[in-house]
Amino acid sequence: MCKKIIMYVVMASLLVSPLLCFAETVEDLRKEVYELKNRIEVLSVEQEDVWDKLLKGVKVTGYADLDYFMTDNPGENNQFRTHKFALILKKKWSDEWNFFTEVEYEYGPEIDATNKTINKGEGKIFNEIFYLEYRPSYMAEFRFGRFLTPAGIWNQEPYAPFVPTDNRPLHIRNIFPQVSDGLQIHGQLNLGPVTSRYNVYAANGAGEPGRTDSNEDKAVGGRVVFHLPVLDDFNLGASAYKGEEKGTGDMRDSYGLDLKLTIKGLKLWGEYANARFTPKSGSGAYDRNGYYGQMMYDIGKFTAIYRYDTYEPSSIAANDKTTVNTVALNYHFTPDIVAKVEHHLFDLENPSSADYSQTIFSMAVYFGE
């Protein structure tokens, strides 16, 4: 009898011991899981704090436009186009310090890092604007980095929802560079009832990549706009630029005049610009010039547009002038969502080239503040 009792006790011990060990193991695992959970929560909070610090005050805005393009120009097809998407980031640290950058994705560029290939079409990724700004006074503000070259109207207001046509006037970006990398000072001066804004800048030459400058001398330029207290709105501007061209060392001397006014809902824009290109050898100099006049009239949510536009790429080349007559209509679903239809008639001076037309249907949107 005693032996049986001893045997039962031994068997019970053998059965209970693993259960007790298992219970201790489960309890230990529960403690470890609880500790890990607490650590994850702490890390998550710390990560959120880091992102809050990094992104606090950063405003993300941008714009996009999509279109359907039709033409009777030989060699071109009707097509849908993912025209442009622009991402804008703004950061304001104080009333004096802020940062601005805009990156454009044009025509849906494709980069495949795995296969080391890129889309061979017209698509591109372009950091159009990238600057740090210091504003000690409204009379003198400093920008360091890449900025839109202060020249005329259209190059300063290129955003798709806020310009009336998908196509820009022909001479824009051909007389003055699109962007400049350098240092700009701009501000406002009040001259009695007349308000003026000015820009002066020094930059790398036109077409430089943002990393190097192919010539030692820097480009210089400036712009001044006078706001006159007449009509509903009246602005008269002048722009100038002088700099060497990338690689060639040719000198470009540009100047332009522009007018922007409003008369009881009728808006008028006009720009004239000329550039003198002088080769480094000193011979073979030529001019580029162009101008446009544009009328816009708002009728409720509609805006009707007409533009006359002409551009001559070279004063020494025969029959190279192009003239474009444009009619367009915008419909503003909201101030930031705009539908556009525009028709362009291209008149080519060259008798060996046939005139043609383009029609573009587009949607442009702006997002953010």
Q: Looking at residue 209, what is its pLDDT?
A: 79
Q: Name the pLDDT band for 160 (thresholds 50, 70, 90).
A: confident
pLDDT at residue 18 greater than cutoff 60: no
Question: Which of 38-47, 195-204, 244-253, 291-300 shows the lowest mean pLDDT across its residues?
Answer: 38-47
Which residue type occupies 253?
Answer: D
Query: Does residue 107 register a pLDDT over 70?
Result: yes
Segments of the chain assigned E as strands = 58-71, 79-92, 97-106, 111-112, 117-118, 124-137, 140-148, 179-191, 194-203, 219-227, 233-244, 251-263, 266-278, 286-299, 302-312, 322-334, 337-348, 356-367
